[in-house]
Structure 1
């Protein structure tokens, strides 16, 4: 049998003890390290066919891996670590950026509001997923948008209200989406000396409480505010400081910390945590929720004692799976969106081509939607199947909107729109074939469409531009809410492979400013949107 190979950077047989803060865990079959959105999307689509169990981690600062071998994929976000300012007070961070690095960037730029992130273990993706907080700061308070990818590769920007549900709770904790980036807001300027003083105070507090004496994941349980006191105080009252279970021990300085004193197993940690939770319930009348994320296969008795949801293991009825994005035997195509249409494939804001600070306006948004199931569209091939919309609240894309009266537009079909401010959509082959389509449009309704047989080579029969060849398959619209096009199923069917299309939204502002969504990871090259190998592959609903 041919050995499996992942479609992104990866390692085999990685010891998860070396990857987690707890220094606990077995070996994983695959340890994936995507560097780009395209890597991550390709991996998720590849695993649709392979059906391997899959878990996602940031830095493992809040994860307890099972000691048992994991015959699946652990996806680490550590290589997706770009960070840049889109405006003076808005910082764009990929999920793999460390919290401490964000605090350091705020110090460098004299921006207040993120001092509490200094020395907070973890990466921003995990911090957002659990709505982490400490020293009076909470990530929900500084997060404007969260960018998430689902198991089909679909990508969308979510508002804070769509994500954050309260104390250490988010919608992402129960959805099958991966945090890939966030837009953080720090509008207040602050003297670097004041920022540094506050960061030092938090660092001293962590040292005073001996947070880093031994491997741990910090607080083991969330606070229950109905109890009127922190969980650590409850456990101290119950005499848990210093108590042990195998190699796991409660800190003598903070009774809500469980240390790995040397050779603790995941069972040791959960057995001790289960005792603590039971004592809090039976002796103090307080129900507590485990904060540490259990990932892998564990004894069901331990999971039940700690109140951890799980999926029963088919191979052993004494065990259960917890903390996975995809469980063994689970259909990863099920995304929770049901059969409602339209369905979002891409939705969000464009960022600068190179990710340079302030290199592109932050308010140009795009939306690509599937309007009907593939099966229905196949029987109605000329119906609108995909819709692409561009919207801008200010700047060059909003300038022409005031002249529009609403409704359909009869804009001019014209070549070389790229010389002016223009929004562009590329549609490529779902199997990474060479053919692709390019559509360009301005708010005025002017538009153009092109076919390519390979990179920048126009397809035979389409060298001379003509709107007649597109008239039955493309409809344009432009009004005060945005501008864009709809595309027929007949037009897009040749580009579908296993229900997958490759998509890329772009914009050129006519002054050497270029934007992308999804964004690419590139540092130095001549800007060129014609790179179909970089388009994001997305699985459509059948």
Structure 2
């Protein structure tokens, strides 16, 4: 990894760190070290990063703002690329919004609502990046990214950059083509919003934010919803019905506010969370015959 770090540093691509604890970069505050951690300061720098990675044939992985993510205690092998402020340009032209993949989704929702643009009210309390939201088709309150995305700019591992239309993104529930079929990095998105009455748009977004604060455990570090809803059922309701609210393993605990949230109640390890997930899956399967699938992405070295 020394040669890799040397080349990243010489290429002047932004922040480069060795053995960076990923607990510093996840909303649940859990995660071992990345062998190499880079935060490119531009799209051109990101392209250089990918070029060096290809040259050395090392594993790589992209993160945004670290929500919806559980990183193993053993950390991540290879290079972790963080899309941050260096890839976060914003342009608003009438009802069309072009935004970088590293831009905060909450900040974007707030900005456009104040300009009287409707369509992102659902995202007011989702603590992720735009790129991550596109990658997983993030949503809430009956809407998601597929409702507003016009096209996404994607950097593929071979260095090519393409604009993919909404149809080409193949969105479904918490899924896009970028996850498995065509792995790539969403570096920008063009969103199609609608002009409306500023006061009512801001009020609706604030109502959504307030609802999340009242029903979800934002006073503890967490990764967001842990399980996908096994429709027509809801994960949180099944977990509550099973009497699992408040159940803890180590420093990880199922929230007493919302059954579909696992919180870091104090120095939790990733293994604590994994054990808790396994316990929920087993319990719900035994009680109701329903298979629970995780929404939170679990990544990193196996112990």
TM-score of the aligned structures, taking structure 1 as reference length: 0.53
Match in the other structure for 2:185? 178
1:27 shift after superposition: 1.5
Question: Which 4+ stretches in 1 moved above 6 angstroms?
Answer: none
Post-superposition Cα deviations, 1:232-284, rounded to whole Å, max 9, x if no partner, equal: 10111111100011111000011110001011111100110011112222221
Higher relative contact order (CA 8 A, sep 6+): 2
1:144 shift after superposition: 0.4
Match in the other structure for 1:255? 259
**CA–CA separation in structure 1 for the residues paired with 2:90 and 2:242:** 44
Match in the other structure for 1:67? 73
**CA–CA separation in structure 2 for the residues paired with 1:36 and 1:243:** 44
Is 1:285–2:289 an aligned residue pair? yes
- More helix per residue: 2
Is 1:212–2:218 an aligned residue pair? yes
Match in the other structure for 1:221? 227
Matches within 5 A, 1:69-84: 69-78=75-84, 79-84=86-91
Match 2:148 to one of 142, 146, 156: 142
Number of aligned residue pairs: give it: 295
1:124 shift after superposition: 0.7
- Is the partner of 1:195 in helix, strand or coil? helix
Bigger Rg, which one: 1
- Is the partner of 1:96 in helix, strand or coil? coil
1:41 shift after superposition: 1.4
Match in the other structure for 2:107? 101
Contact in 2 for aligned 1:41/1:152 (Cα 8 Å): no
**CA–CA separation in structure 1 for the residues paired with 2:252 and 2:104:** 27
1:2 shift after superposition: 6.0
Match 2:165 to one of 138, 143, 159: 159
Structure 2 unmatched runs, 5+:
none
**CA–CA separation in structure 1 for the residues paired with 2:202 and 2:137:** 24
Is 1:267–2:271 an aligned residue pair? yes
Contact in 2 for aligned 1:131/1:164 (Cα 8 Å): no
**CA–CA separation in structure 1 for the residues paired with 2:142 and 2:68:** 19
Contact in 2 for aligned 1:70/1:296 (Cα 8 Å): yes
Match in the other structure for 2:123? 117
Post-superposition Cα deviations, 1:425-476, rounded to whole Å, max 9, x if no partner, equal: xxxxxxxxxxxxxxxxxxxxxxxxxxxxxxxxxxxxxxxxxxxxxxxxxxxx
Contact in 1 for aligned 2:114/2:202 (Cα 8 Å): no
Contact in 1 for aligned 2:30/2:268 (Cα 8 Å): yes
Contact in 2 for aligned 1:149/1:177 (Cα 8 Å): yes
Structure 1 unmatched runs, 5+:
300-542
- Is the partner of 1:152 in helix, strand or coil? coil
Is 1:20–2:20 an aligned residue pair? no
